Amino acid sequence: MTTPVRDFDRFEELAGTQLYRRNVFAVTGLPTRASGPAVRRQRQKLEARLAVEDRWPGARDVAPAGGYGKDEVRAAFEGLQDPRRRMVDEVLWLWGAPDSGCGCDPDLHELHDAAVLLHARALRAETGDLELPVDQRASLWENAASAWGHLLAEGALRQHVRHRIRALGDPRLDEDAATGLLAGLPKLLASPFPQLFTDPATAARLAPVCSAWTGFPPFEGLFSELFEHAVQDAYEKIHADLLTAEREREAAHYREAFLLLRDRVVPGFEDLAPLRPFVSDWRYDEIAHVVAVGLNNLAVELLGVSVYRPPSASRREEMVWLAEKAYEIGPDRDSEGLKENWETIYDHVTGTGRHPARPRKRFPWFGFLLVLAFIGGSLSALIENYGFLPVLFVSVAVLAVVGYIVRFLAWLAGGVRNGRRRP
pLDDT digits (tens, 9 = 90+) for 110-164: 999 999 999 999 999 998 888 888 889 999 999 999 999 999 988 889 999 999 9
CA 290 to chain centroid: 13
Average pLDDT of the chain to the nearest whole number: 83
Per-residue pLDDT, averaged over 33-56, amounts to 92
* 351 backbone φψ class: left, alpha, beta (φ>0; ψ -120 to 50): left
pLDDT of residue 416: 41
- As a whole number, mean pLDDT of residues 99-110 equals 86
Residue 414 binned pLDDT confidence (cut-offs 50, 70, 90): low
> What SS3 class is residue 348?
helix
Phi and psi at residue 56, to the nearest 5°: -125, 130
Confidence of residue 2 (pLDDT cuts 50, 70, 90): very low
pLDDT of residue 258: 95
* The pLDDT of residue 423 is above 50: no
Cα–Cα distance for residue pair 104/151, rounded to 1 Å: 13
> Is 27 a residue whose pLDDT tops 50?
yes
pTM reported for the whole predicted model: 0.70
pLDDT at site 224:
85
pLDDT of amino acid 356: 44
pLDDT at 42 (0 to 100) = 94
Nearest in space to 273 (alpha carbons), one of 288, 260, 258? 288
**How many residues are given for the chain?**
423
Is 280 exposed, middle or buried, given 0-12, 13-18 or 19+ CB atoms closer than 10 A?
A: exposed
On the question of pLDDT at 102 being above 90, the answer is no
Q: What is the pLDDT of residue 99?
A: 80
Nearest to 322 by CA among 280, 361, 291, 354: 291
pLDDT of residue 303 exceeding 70:
yes
Q: What is the per-residue pLDDT for 383?
A: 65
Predicted pLDDT of residue 89: 95
For a pLDDT cut of 90, what percent of the chain falls above it? 49
Residue 134 CA to residue 146 CA, distance in Å, equals 19
Residue range 60-81: mean pLDDT, rounded:
86
Instruction: Specify the pLDDT at position 391.
Output: 56
Cβ-proximal residues to 388 (8 Å cutoff; 6+ apart), any chain: none
In our burial notation (b when 16+ CB lie closer than 10 A, e otherwise), range 351-388 reads: eeeeeeeeeeeeeeeeeeeeeeeeeeeeeeebeeeeee
Choice between 25 and 420, residue whose per-residue pLDDT is larger:
25
How confident is the model at residue 417, as a pLDDT?
Answer: 44
Question: pLDDT at residue 375 above 60?
Answer: yes
Confirm if 230 and 283 have CB atoms less than 8 A apart.
Answer: no
Tell me, what's the pLDDT at 135? 86
**What pLDDT, on a 0 to 100 scale, did the predictor assign at position 44?**
94
Task: Provide the pLDDT confidence category of residue 361 given band limits of 50, 70 and 90.
Answer: very low
In percent, the amount of the chain with pLDDT more than 70 equals 80
Q: Is the pLDDT score of 363 beyond 70? A: no
Q: Looking at residue 4, what is its pLDDT? A: 44
Task: Yes or no: say if 305 and 347 are a contact pair by the CB < 8 Å rule.
Answer: no
Q: What is the rounded CA–CA span in Å between residue 135 and residue 10? A: 33
Name the pLDDT band for 36 (thresholds 50, 70, 90): confident
Q: Which of 53-62, 106-115, 164-173, 409-418 has the highest mean pLDDT?
A: 106-115
Whether 353 has a pLDDT exceeding 60, the answer reads no
How far apart, in whole angstroms, are the C-alpha atoms of residue 197 and residue 190? 12
Indicate if the pLDDT at residue 285 is higher than 80. yes
